Amino acid sequence: MSRVGKKPIEVLDGVKSSVDGNVVSVEGPKGKLSFEFSNSIEVVKSEDGKTITVSRKNEERMSRALHGLTRALINNMIIGVKNGYEKKLEIIGVGYLAAIKGKVLQLRVGFANELQVPIPENLEVACPDQTHITVKGCDKQAVGQFAAHVRSLRKPEPYKGKGVRYVGEQIKLKPGKSAT
């Protein structure tokens, strides 16, 4: 039995949730999310509306794999619409900078041209200064995906550490050729 899947999900105050067939919908102060789960999983909302329980209908390999995953995704949705998620990026390098113009994130990270990254509708992207980027939203997957995409445009290189990295990320620097 899945340890994660067995735990009931607590519905936070100020969050409205509903289960209609194979779709779970969650609405809160930060936004609205919905998730369609598999037929081999059963999601039941308690009568008082304070908890949601996830169980599986059979013991097949796929339904066992989806049991804990479905519970974790619904829990992330509830936390996201209540508190939201945030990723912070920093840009390291001489002349490297970021700016927001309309719905586009502009990055100057050592290429001949400025990189233009369109910002998705459901995310808030801010640049408190030219070397930091903050990505916020209620969907954990969308926040992480956008932050990973921005980081992938110029990953930190292993010799000087220049590039886009998460705040607090440690880069192991290699010694140069003069170290031998």
- What pLDDT digit, counting tens, does each position of 117-148 carry? 999 999 999 999 999 999 999 999 999 999 99
Helix (H, G, I), strand (E, B) or coil at 179: helix
- How far does the chain reach from its first CA to its final CA, in angstroms? 54
- pLDDT at 42 exceeding the cut of 90: yes
Amino acid letter for position 15: V
Question: Mean of the pLDDT values across residues 40-55?
Answer: 92
Percentage of the chain beyond pLDDT 90 is 90
Q: Does domain 3-82 have CATH number 3.90.930.12?
A: yes
Cα separation, 43 vs 27, whole angstroms: 17
- What's the mean pLDDT when you consider all of the chain? 93
Q: What is the pLDDT of residues 50-94, one digit of tens each?
A: 999 999 999 999 999 999 999 999 999 999 999 999 999 999 999
Q: How far is CA 14 from the centre of its chain?
A: 22
Residue 2: its pLDDT value, please?
67
Asked if residue 84 lies in contact with residue 15, where contact means CB atoms within 8 angstroms, the answer is no
- pLDDT at 23 exceeding the cut of 90: yes
Question: Mean of the pLDDT values across residues 164-173?
Answer: 94
DSSP state letter for 111: S
* Residue 49's pLDDT band (cuts 50, 70, 90): confident
Residue 1: its pLDDT value, please?
55
Residue 39: its pLDDT value, please?
92
Residue 36: its pLDDT value, please?
95
CATH of segment(s) 85-171: 3.90.930.12
* Alpha helices, DSSP H, located in 7-137: 61-82
Residue 133: its pLDDT value, please?
97
Q: Where in the chain is the domain with CATH 3.90.930.12?
A: 3-82, 85-171
